[in-house]
Each structure stands twice: as structure tokens, then as C-alpha cells.
Amino acid sequence: MTEIPEHLLKRSKERREAASGVASSDSGTSAPATTSSTPAVAKSAAPVAASAPAPKPDPSYVVAAKSRKKIPFWAMATLSLLPLWAFMYMLALKPQEKVVEGPLAIGATVYGSCAGCHGAEGQGGAGREFAGGEVLKTFPKIEDMLNFVYTGSQAYASQNIKFYGDPNREGGAHAPLSYNGNPMPMQGEKAGGGLTEAQILGVVCHERYTISGADPASEQWKSEYETWCSPESEIFLALENGTTSFDTIDTDFAMLTTPPHPVGTTPRESAK
């Protein structure tokens, strides 16, 4: 019997093993693990990029600003008018100043020349006190006061008139030059003073109603106020226009419901 060389047997065995491995693969049976001569895949030599640092969180006030609701653009026009509305609101709250017209307006200006003697508020000084109803006690009738202011106290003394105003005055009648010997200067133009008859009426109205406190709405003084001292006073307008005078008022306005007493431009006793 011929002996088969050993190297041929080895080769035959390897071929059988190889054929057996292919068949196992086709039948779904895992082939025996074999040691691969292929070297393991080398790790990538490229360095992995470093991760970017996380952003810092916004401060709380920035977060609040971003989350706050924004004012609509159409509301800006309305907001721009707020200062104007505030100004108008303040004007509405401000008390309305009383507007003084007619004789009282002129009288308030003229009284500046009287305040040096009688006081800015009628409190008296070198001249007699006017405040607290003192003028009204002395001159219950406005015509008597107009005459005295026009002529002055020296003219009364020269005419030997003992009292001016009401001789039955509460607290005693006033005699010319009886207040510390100080005379009441003449004020009328014809007597040598510097005031027109309309200005004298104005300052007398101011002293009676603003300083001395006569109430134009009261029953006692309403008629006098409307006739002599109101802005609609026909007598005052006539004096301003020169269509009447202290010497003719009583006849020029005799048709009034309450006709005036004579005023005159020379000293006289009080009207009865």
C-alpha cells in the first residue's frame, strides 16, 4: 500500500476545514472564531474639538427688561399729551380770581394814595380807621362822604361846620380836625385836589364795600350799591363821560327809583 505523504494529508485537511466553514455560514451557524491577522483599526489621530463654554446668564434686571411688556407705539401720542392734561387739570383746580370792574376797580387803584394815612387795610394811622364798618358809621349816606372827600376837612372848619357825616354817629360825631389835628386833604379837582369826580366815587365805593365791609347783597346796602358802585352804575358812567357832576347829580338822576341826594363841591352839612 502506497503511503500518502504527510504534507498532502495536511493540505487536504485544511481544504476540508475550509469547505466545512463555508457550509456552516450558509446554514446560519456561526463559524468558529478565528484570529484575524488584520490589525485593529487605529484610533483617529485627529484631536476632538473642545466644547464651547456655556454663556453667562443675564442679570436679573436684564431679564426683567426683556420680559416686560412694551408700550404700543400708538400709545406714545397719548402719553405725550399727559403734561398738557396735567396743566389743564391744575387750572381747573385753581380757584377763579374774582374780577373787579367799574367803580370798585378804579377805587382799588386810587386808594393807594390814601393808604399812607389810613393804612393798606384801612386800619388807620395818621388818618382815621376805615375797617370794621367805621366808614359806614360816619357816613350812612354815600353822598355825604363824597362831599367830604371832595372838599376836605379844612374847608369844613373854614365854613364853621361843626360835624361831618352823621351828627348822631355811634361812638360820637366827628368834627373837622378832631383826629389829632390832622386835616383830611381836599381831593376834588375844583377844590384844588387831583382826583376826578369819577375817581372819587370809585375810591369811596372801595372804602365802603371792600374795606369797611358793606354787603352789596344786603337789604341795607343793595340799593346804594346798584345806584352808585356797581359796574352798571349809570351815575358812575355819566361822571366818567362828563355828562353829569357832583353839582347836578340830584337833578340829572331824579328819575331813579332811589334818587340821589345832592353831593355838591362845597362843604355842607349832612343830608337829612
pLDDT band at 190 (very low <50, low <70, confident <90, very high): confident
What would the pLDDT profile of 58-109 be if each residue is shown by its tens digit? 787 677 767 776 666 666 667 677 787 777 777 777 666 655 679 999 999 9
Asked if residue 141 is part of any domain, the answer here is yes
* CA dist., res. 103 & res. 106, Å (int): 5
The SS3 call for residue 202 is helix
Q: Is 1 part of a structural domain of the chain?
A: no
Write out the residue range of the structural domain in which residue 226 sits.
Answer: 102-252
Domain of 166: which CATH number? 1.10.760
pLDDT value at 148 more than 80: yes
User: How many domains is the chain partitioned into structurally?
Assistant: 1
- 88, part of any domain: no
Alpha helices, DSSP H only, in 94-246?
A: 102-110, 115-118, 134-138, 142-151, 153-158, 197-205, 222-224, 234-241
Q: Per-residue pLDDT tens for 7-29?
A: 666 777 777 777 666 445 444 44
Helix (H) or strand (E) holding 82: helix 82-93
Q: What is the DSSP letter of 225?
A: I
Q: Is residue 132 part of a domain?
A: yes
32 in a structural domain: no
In a domain, 143, yes or no: yes
Measured distance CA(109)–CA(205) in Å, rounded = 12
Residue 264 lies in a domain: no
Amino acid at 234: E
pTM of the model: 0.65
Does residue 28 sit within a domain? no
Percent of the chain with pLDDT over 70: 77
